[in-house]
């Protein structure tokens, strides 16, 4: 019973990441003309990576969390999978912030001084 509850809670967490990646890819596909040609591939890779990692974590969730026999193993693996999703979000956020700072520098070169 506890395995199913943990699997459901993790599914609810991973679902937001999958939905976010899908919406970003959909926006990118519909608005290709708003992006520089050199940055389209990296945008697809970053958004695709977020979606792929959330799907892989969800699959591992179903495989590992539902097979755990002790409560300690269940909590340990749940925290590990949640950490993987959190690291994925941090990587995506760091890429976004680096692009924002690059755009700010290109618009106002005096920021480099």
For 60-86, what is each residue's pLDDT tens digit?
A: 777 877 777 888 888 888 788 778 777
C-alpha Rg value of the chain to the nearest Å: 18
Q: How do the pLDDT tens digits run along the chain, 113 residues long?
A: 677 777 777 777 777 778 888 888 888 888 888 777 777 787 788 788 888 888 887 787 778 777 778 888 888 887 887 787 778 777 777 777 776 776 666 677 676 66
Its domain, for residue 73, covers: 2-112
- Maximum CA pair distance of the chain? 60
Look up the pTM and report it. Answer: 0.60
Question: Which pLDDT belongs to residue 112?
Answer: 62
Output phi, psi for 95, to 5 deg. Answer: -65, -40
Show the DSSP H helices in the chain as ranges.
2-30, 37-64, 71-107
CA distances from 72 to 3, 5, 57, 65 (A): 11, 15, 19, 11
Total count of domains within the chain: 1
Question: Which pLDDT belongs to residue 109?
Answer: 67
Q: CA-to-CA distance for 70 and 6, rounded, in angstroms?
A: 13
Question: Which pLDDT belongs to residue 106?
Answer: 66
| Matching residue, tokens 């970003």 | 24
DSSP code of residue 102: H
Tokens representing 48 are 């695709």
Are 65 and 6 a contacting pair, CB within 8 Å? Answer: yes
């Amino acid at each position: 019973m506890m395995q199913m509850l943990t699997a459901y809670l993790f599914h609810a967490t991973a679902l937001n990441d999958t939905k976010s990646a899908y919406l970003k890819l959909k926006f990118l596909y519909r608005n290709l003309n708003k992006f520089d040609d050199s940055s389209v591939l990296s945008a697809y890779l970053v958004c695709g990576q977020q979606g792929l990692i959330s799907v892989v974590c969800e699959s591992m969730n179903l495989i590992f969390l539902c097979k755990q026999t002790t409560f300690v193993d269940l909590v340990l693996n749940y925290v590990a999978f949640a950490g993987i999703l959190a690291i994925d979000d941090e990587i995506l956020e760091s890429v976004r912030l680096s692009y924002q700072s690059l755009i700010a520098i290109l618009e106002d070169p005096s920021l480099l001084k």
